[in-house]
Structure 1
Amino acid sequence: MKQFFKYVFASMVGFILSVLVLFILGLVILGVIISSAEDKSVTISSNSVMRISLDYPVVERTAKNPLDDLDFMGFKGEKNIGLNDILTNLKKAQTDDRIKGIYLDLSSVQSGMATIEEIRNALIDFKKSGKFIMAYSEVYTQGAYYLASVADKIYLNPEGILELKGFSSELMFFKGTLDKLGIEPQIIRVGTYKSAVEPFILDKMSDANREQVTSFMGSMYDHFLDNISKSRRVNRDSLFSIANDMKVRTPKDALSYHLVDGLKYKDEIIAELKSRTDTEKDEDVKAVKIEDYKSNETTDAEDGGGSSRIAVVYASGEIVGGEGSEDNIGSERISRAIRKARTDDKVKALVFRVNSPGGSALASDVIWREVLLTKKQKPVIVSMGDYAASGGYYIACAADSIFVQPNTITGSIGVFGIIPNMKTFFNDKLGITFDGVKTGKYADLGDISRPLTDAEKMIIQKEVNNTYYTFTKHVSEGRKKDQSYIKSIAEGRVWTGSQAIKNGLADRVGNISDAVKSAAKMAKLDKYKVVSYPSLKDPFESIFGTSSDKLQSYITKIQLGDQYIYYKQIKEALQLTGVQARLPYNISIK
């Protein structure tokens, strides 16, 4: 009996302590949320340097994370910043007399090449102020070096690494695994280049896929070399030779080929920063992270006076039906945002920022309809990010004008469907069999426990064909070109932004700021304010609305590291429903 009461007492004490700890933690979180709700400005001293690291994924918009400033019992929040605020802060810093220059502390920049392009162009614009940009790293990846190449001075650690070896893109194929498991992917598609299904039915790239990958990667690489050549004043052909033969194998090689301006240790970098900012040797360099930078100044685009507005609707991630989340494009959520901007009399034009590899064809059509309706009432300009392909292009094609970066991935106008036949897997591998009844000939259409019949394949193929016809028709109407021409450049083929301008799928090179200016011009606005849709989640919802699935995904990502992308690709393939309009695969340029 004593043991019984002992365990009961211990359990009660443990429960009470747990509740107490959670209560205290809740108070801490609540305090952080309340304090973060206040508009805090970081104090910036004169002769300061803005430090840019970008050692985290750069998303389209800065998320509202109330735990950024949390420092409790060893747990410390990390501040991230979205592309929108990076560009805004760089613009403000140009005219901020307190900021003397920028220090790029780069190694690996976790974003697509089009995002890097926008930041790079903003840095080039910053240099017009006459202020310095200095870059330093122990290891420069190709993306990091591309960004750093605009700096006045580029320094590398004397024992460091600078990667310059050309682009590569490796695809992973699952056919062998599926064969061993006895799973047959039943593919229905339209488009010779629509290669999204290839990893499931082939063990290597098809000739058509190899052709398109070679083409768009070549276009991206040409742009990469041309810009570095211009910034570093190194002959373009020489730069190609340096990379092709991987001539930069030591820091001294990087220096001899004029890719960097010096080999220095961190203390020497700090000394140079002190010299550039007139800082005494015994004082610390006054630095502010771009994540913390605040300014009381505003740009014309942010607060131009008057009541007229330009709405920027952000659509980032895969396209799905329903509400979706801030990590993807829910057709209901984004449609509602576009509709809200359309019916607001103060909103005179809309900029649609698309950064998506596509997804559900049906969800894409739902969003396309709202863009079309809005275009009939006010100007609609599309600004494409790293990706605006397949479904991402579908939702963009109705716009008045489309802005891209030269290295944006776009096009991929094609559709497909996958229904796995897992009969052999269930029967032979697991010993599971199925039996049942049905009241209609096609009542169990799509059942994965058996193969499709020829009649069922014809039904699904017709659905896919109809979706492809609708897709190309929307594009031809939006781009004001014959449908036959659109079909000739469609077939699921992927293009870069530069190629898309040439074949008529896009109009001009420009960033989101250029798109806003174009929208203002079309709406004949001299003064306007920019408003963003859809609204970001409030701090309470960000914390307490986190689902168990999202938490599990986060844990899995930490455990798998760089291999998480393959896990995600397989998981997404197994969850596909309905006809899909998405990129052929996860494109990762190394």
Structure 2
Amino acid sequence: MKKLLKFIFNIFKWAGKSVTILRNLIINLVFFGSIIILAAALMLSTKKVQEPVLTANTGLILSLAGQVVEEKENIDPFNDLFNEAMGVENPYQEILLQDILDAVNHAAIDSNISYLLLDMERLNGIGLPQMEAIGQALDNFKKSGKKVLAAEDYYRQDQYYLASYASEIILNPMGKVDLHGFGLYRLYFREALDRLKVNYHIFRVGTHKSAIEPLIRDDMSPEDKEQNNRLLAALWSDYTAKITSMRRLAADALDDYANHLPENLAQTGGDTARLALDKGLVDKLMTRVELEKYLNTLSERDEKGRGKTIKMKKYLTTFTRKYTEKENSNIGLIVAQGMILPGEQPPGTIGGDTLAKTIRKARQDKAIKAVVLRIDSGGGSAFASEIIRQELLALKDAGKKVVVSMGNTAASGGYWIASAADEIWASPTTITGSIGIFGAIPTFEGSLASLGVYGDGVGTTAISSGIGITRPLSDELEKTIQLSVEHGYNTFIDIVAEGRNMPPERVEELAGGRIYDGVQAKQLGLVDYNGGLEDAVRSAAKLAGIEKKYKAVYIRKPLTMKEKILQQFSSSLAALLPERHSDSVLSLIHRAIAPAREVLLLKDPHGVYARSLAADELARGAIR
């Protein structure tokens, strides 16, 4: 028996030693691996990466891979190495709108570029205002006498909009053009929350503030349906008008294509590619092999007999990008993209303190005479929005002009910020407005009680229980929060009335959470002009009296030493890795959990939010 016990003891003893050795080995590997990676980062940062050699008669591949954004989130370059080693392709990477515009606009005047090919297979998110801006750039490129080609196996609605600007649209014989119209559909959770005995305490003002409807209803309210129908119709009308104009089709061609799809398909025996060709949506049907041969005839051949091409990422390294040179600049360009949250926040999210400091930096720069604030946000914290607005007012008090340029959306808290500007520009398809406030606090006393868990206690005042998810809100606390929400709403009304020089009664008529497209917002006086970023920059120069000589430059939050090292390493790595390995695994995970993350991040000090989920949904999700 002793021998058996000793034998068992020795097994565990050696197993423990083995685990310790394995653990130490892993720790050492990670440690030395980190040193190697850091050394590689330093070497790459000091080593000059060879710039691509651009020769005459080269085709530009405009690779639109990932989500088109105004400002990239921070990426982790170390994960790029992991992605590369594992062969992971990240479809959730980001691409800057300005990079796309810079590439197209420079290629139009670059004698070495002979044609442009749209590569949209991995386009993963884009708003109508962004599509309009790219479309205008493509149209200008064609005016230089060069071809724009679109060639895909399959076209989604966002891809086809851009393709409509091409000189030729090519489709795979087994492909399809998917035009089905715009829609907005949500999940509603009231019954599920009731079954789970979750008690959601809702505080809001206005019948059109639909952000909390999924928590209190099982369907879309009549007011929200009316509003969404109106906006979707306006966006669809703009979308179809642009495409039918570019393709020289009848005004109702796309409606007929979508509304009578079964009948139309029956005429081609179910052949979707032939239907697209017959309806004039595409110009040619080509297999991949045929397409490759065709592209090879459009440019010089390399040593392997293939047509010479350069991808957008590498092409961007051959010239100086717009708004990046500080020398002699006198207009500051600040980007505000994402949900608005209190405190310091990373790029891709608007931090109240972060953006306020960036605006303050522009105020303290004597060379800057005007600021253009580019907003792409559905709002967030009312408190953080006001911190930013106060800094914009200080900027104006310093004698500097403020012009807002709205991107895909500038709604609720985004509009709270915009209302302080001297002038507001919006794209015709920008989603804006949503002047309203809400609060939502869940408590789980019912859920816990169903499990036999109860809470109890005593306090010195009627509100000493505070806000806790394990106990109900007291009547006094509920009344307090509702009054706070109403005060926030009235403050919002007064802020817009002051900023837009409107009577508060008129603002009240436009408020209540109602949202508008850019054209309607201009008609109602919520914005001044319809146009893009360049229009806003020109107008800022005119307002500041410097229209004869002006130059805009991005003003960003100063990077920490760590961020500078990572950015340098990331830039060097991007030049060495293949095109498809350019974003982080963490970014992919971040995108996957974005809906839950947004709810968890809401943390206004007063629990009061100026947030429009519908604006974000309409700006991007409805068009795919």
Distance 1:531 1:572 in 2: 27
**Aligned residue in 2 for 1:534:** 557
1:422, distance to aligned residue in structure 2 (A) = 2.0
Q: Secondary structure at the match of 1:188?
A: strand
CA distance in 2, matches of 1:87, 1:437: 63
63-72 vs 148-157, greater mean Cα deviation: 63-72
Which of 410, 431, 434 lines up with 1:412 in the alignment? Answer: 434
* Counterpart for residue 476 of structure 1: 497
Task: Find 1:27's aligned residue among 16, 24, 36.
Answer: 36
Identical aligned pairs, as a percentage? 34
TM-score (norm 2): 0.85
Query: Paired residue for 2:100?
Result: 86
Mapped to 2, the partners of 1:286 and 1:582 lie a distance apart of 48
Give the distance between the partners of 2:20 and 2:472, measured in 1 at CA: 54
Matches within 5 A, 1:368-517: 368-376=389-397, 377-428=399-450, 430-517=451-538
What is residue 228 of structure 1 aligned with on the other side?
243
| C-alpha separation in 1, matches of 2:603 and 2:185 | 21
2:218 aligned counterpart, secondary structure: coil
Checking the alignment, whether the CA contact within 8 Å between 2:344 and 2:351 is kept in structure 1 is: yes
Matched AA of 1:164: L
**Among 66, 71, 93, which residue is 1:56 paired with?**
66
Is contact 1:69-1:77 (8 Å) kept?
Answer: no
Give the residue type in structure 1 aligned to 2:610.
A
Pick closer, same or farther for the CA change 1:190–1:363 going to 2, 3 Å.
same
Q: How many Å apart are 1:44 and its aligned residue?
A: 2.2
1:534 shift after superposition: 2.4
Unmatched segments (≥5 aa) in structure 2: 1-8, 570-583
**Contact 1:349–1:379 (CA under 8 A) maintained in structure 2:** yes
Deviation at 1:100, TM superposition (A): 1.2
Q: CA deviation at 1:466?
A: 1.1
Check 1:556–1:104 CA distance in 2 against 1; reply closer, same or farther (3 A cut): closer
Report the alpha carbon displacement of residue 111 of structure 1 after superposing the two structures with TM.
2.1
Q: Residue 96 of structure 1 aligns with which residue?
A: 110
Partners of 1:399 and 1:37 in 2: CA distance: 43
Pick closer, same or farther for the CA change 1:44–1:2 going to 2, 3 Å. Answer: farther
Count of paired positions: 579
1:126-157 CA-to-partner distances (Å, cap 9, x unmatched) read 22222111001111110110111100000110
CA contact (8 A) 1:62 1:83 kept: no
Shift of 1:272: 2.0
Q: What do residues 404-447 of structure 1 show as CA deviations (whole Å, max 9, x unaligned)?
A: 1222111111001112232211111x321112221222122333
Query: Are the counterparts in 2 of residues 93 and 99 from structure 1 also a CA contact under 8 Å?
Result: yes
3-state SS in 2 of match to 1:347: coil
Q: Does 1:578 align with 2:607?
A: yes
Distance 1:76 1:210, change over 3 A: closer
Question: What pairs with 1:123-138 in structure 2 (closer than 5 Å)?
Answer: 123-138=138-153
What is the CA deviation profile of residues 173-208 of structure 1, one whole-angstrom value per residue up to 9, with x for unaligned ones? 111210111012111101110011100000001111
Q: Matched residues in 2 for 1:213 and 1:380: separation?
A: 31
Instruction: Give the distance between the partners of 1:74 and 1:459, measured in 2 at CA.
Output: 54
Aligned residue for 1:384, secondary structure, equals: strand
More deviation, 332-341/229-238: 229-238
Distance 2:375 2:337 in 1: 6
Cα distance change of structure 1 residues 536 and 130 upon mapping to structure 2, 3 Å threshold:
farther
Query: Partner of 1:236: helix, strand, or coil?
Result: coil
CA separation of 1:456 and 1:76: change in aligned 2, threshold 3 A = closer
1:141 and 2:159 matched: no
Change (3 A) 1:114 1:529: closer
Which amino acid in structure 2 is aligned with residue 98 of structure 1?
N
Equivalent residues of 2:431, 2:515 under 8 A apart: yes
Deviation at 1:7, TM superposition (A): 4.8
* Paired AA for residue 234 in structure 2: S
Counterparts of residues 275-354 of structure 1 (less than 5 Å)? 275-279=297-301, 283-294=305-316, 297-298=319-320, 303=325, 307-354=328-375
Superposed CA RMSD in Å reads 3.0
In the TM superposition, residue 524 of structure 1 has moved relative to its aligned partner by: 2.7
Q: Which moved more, 1:478-487 or 1:286-295?
A: 286-295
**Amino acid paired to 1:57:** Q
Distance across 1 between alignment mates of 2:604 and 2:494? 28
Which residue pairs with 1:45 in the alignment? 55
Q: Residue 31 of structure 1 aligns to which amino acid in structure 2?
A: A
Structure 1 residue 320 displacement after superposition: 0.6
**1:183 equivalent in alignment to 2:198:** yes
Alpha-carbon separation, structure 1, partners of 2:319 and 2:19: 59
- Aligned match of 2:286: 264
Letter in 2 for 1:440: T
Deviates more, 1:500-509 or 1:257-266: 500-509
8 Å contact kept, 2:71–2:337: no
| Alpha-carbon distance in structure 2 between the residues aligned to 1:354 and 1:112 | 13
Alpha-carbon contact 2:59-2:310 (below 8 Å) kept: yes
- Match of 1:533, SS state, is coil
Q: Deviations over 1:250-292 (max 9, x none)?
A: 1111001101001111222222222222437961122222122
Contact 1:306 1:527 survives alignment (8 Å): no
Query: Cα offset for 1:353?
Result: 1.0
Q: 1:213 to 1:121 in 2, by over 3 A?
A: same
Unaligned stretches of 5+ in structure 1? 545-550
Give the C-alpha shift of residue 115 in structure 1.
2.1
Contact 2:302–2:308 (CA<8 Å) still a contact in 1?
Answer: no
2:331 touches 2:550 (CA, 8 Å); kept in 1? no
Distance in 2 of aligned mates of 1:214 and 1:127: 35
Picking from 7, 24, 27, the partner of 1:15 is 24
CA contact (8 A) 1:323 1:331 kept: yes
Give 3-state SS (helix, strand or coil) of 2:100's partner.
helix
- Deviation of 1:47 after TM superposition, in Å, equals 1.6
Distance in 2, Cα, partners of 1:535 & 1:427: 51
Q: CA deviation at 1:493?
A: 0.6
| 8 Å Cα contact 1:42-1:294 kept in structure 2 | no
Ranked by relative contact order (alpha carbons within 8 Å, sequence separation 6 or more), the top structure is 2
The residue aligned with 2:576 is none
**Is residue 2:264 matched to residue 1:251?**
no
Secondary structure of 1:294's counterpart equals: helix
CA distance in 1, matches of 2:482, 2:67: 39
Summarize the Cα distance change of 1:520–1:462 in structure 2 as closer, same or farther, 3 Å threshold. same
Distance (Å, rounded) in 2 between the aligned partners of 1:414 and 1:11: 59
TM-score (norm. length: structure 1) = 0.90
| Distance in 1, Cα, partners of 2:219 & 2:43 | 54
Please tell me the residue identity of whatever aligns with 1:532: I
**Matching residue's letter, 1:312:** L
Question: Which stretch of the first structure deviates more once superposed, 478-487 or 14-23?
Answer: 14-23
Post-superposition offset of 1:12: 2.9
Q: Which moved more, 1:76-85 or 1:201-210?
A: 76-85
AA paired with 1:252? Answer: R
